[in-house]
């Protein structure tokens, strides 16, 4: 079984966010006039007005914390050397959009789907291992830009039972790349703004 850590950032979303330097943006792909394009994926998305682009330094900070949270649950070293951060944008520490890719060449039919289910379970167990109460939804299919994505949701609770954060995960294989999107939110207005941008994404046919 391969470990594809496509959703590494999901496990550390409660970390505090520092100020973002707009001159240190993620540089994978093209970014023009609030529109980001990944040439590898043929994916284009428009960034909502008023949202900050997440810097490379901030993503590296997130990934380090995510790795530390997962280490106790995974045998052996976690290799994220081929994980590539794509566009990320945020309103604040609880409302953010993240995306990344990792090479994934299937050795047999259905291997990617098996791996995606493993990742879902790993995220859930990581939260529980940290003493965080969490629920997960069943995995369904969503149509984005003419492509089908596997999707599921996590709901994270405070000790008193109040909802702290919601996370919606989208993923699929494109050009032997495991592509993932993570939408974190704690209110409907920001959720709807991110979902609107994501659902208006465009993918070039290759």
> Please, which residues bridge with residue 141 across strands?
150
- Residues 124-163 pLDDT 10s: 888 888 788 999 999 999 999 999 999 999 999 988 999 9
Number of domains the chain is built from? 1
- Residues 109-125 pLDDT 10s: 999 999 899 888 888 88
Q: The CATH number of the domain where 194 resides is what?
A: 3.40.1000.10
Percent of the chain with pLDDT over 90: 50
Do the domain assignments include residue 3?
Answer: no
Look at residue 29 in the predicted model and tell me its pLDDT. 65
Do the domain assignments include residue 2?
Answer: no
Look at residue 187 in the predicted model and tell me its pLDDT. 97
Do the domain assignments include residue 64?
Answer: yes
> Please, which residues bridge with residue 84 across strands?
101
Look at residue 74 in the predicted model and tell me its pLDDT. 57
- Which whole-number Å values give the CA distances from 52 to 3, 65, 154, 155, 189, in the listed order? 31, 21, 24, 24, 16
- Residues 45-84 pLDDT 10s: 999 999 998 876 666 665 565 555 555 555 555 555 677 8
As a whole number, the mean pLDDT across the chain is: 80
pLDDT band at 28 (very low <50, low <70, confident <90, very high): low
Q: Which domain holds residue 196?
A: 8-203
Report which of residues 126 and 1 the model is more confident about.
126
Q: CA 157, CA 138: separation in Å to the nearest integer?
A: 18
């Amino acid at each position: 079984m391969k470990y594809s850590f496509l959703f590494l950032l999901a496990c550390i979303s409660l970390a505090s966010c520092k100020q973002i330097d707009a001159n240190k943006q993620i540089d994978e792909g093209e970014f023009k006039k609030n529109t980001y394009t990944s040439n590898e994926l043929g994916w284009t998305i428009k960034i909502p007005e008023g949202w900050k682009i997440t810097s490379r330094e901030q993503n590296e900070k997130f990934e380090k914390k995510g790795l530390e949270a997962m280490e106790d649950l995974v045998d052996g070293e976690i290799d994220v050397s081929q994980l590539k951060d794509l566009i990320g944008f945020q309103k604040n520490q609880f409302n953010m959009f993240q995306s990344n890719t990792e090479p994934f060449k299937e050795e047999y039919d259905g291997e990617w789907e098996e791996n995606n289910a493993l990742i879902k379970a790993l995220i859930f167990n990581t939260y529980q291992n940290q003493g965080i109460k969490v629920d997960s939804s069943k995995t369904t299919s969503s149509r984005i830009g003419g492509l089908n994505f596997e999707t599921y949701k996590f709901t994270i609770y405070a000790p008193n039972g109040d909802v702290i954060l919601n996370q919606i995960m989208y993923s699929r294989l494109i050009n032997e790349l495991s592509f993932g999107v993570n939408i974190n939110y704690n209110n409907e207005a920001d959720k709807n703004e991110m979902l609107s941008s994501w659902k208006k994404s465009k993918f070039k046919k290759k």
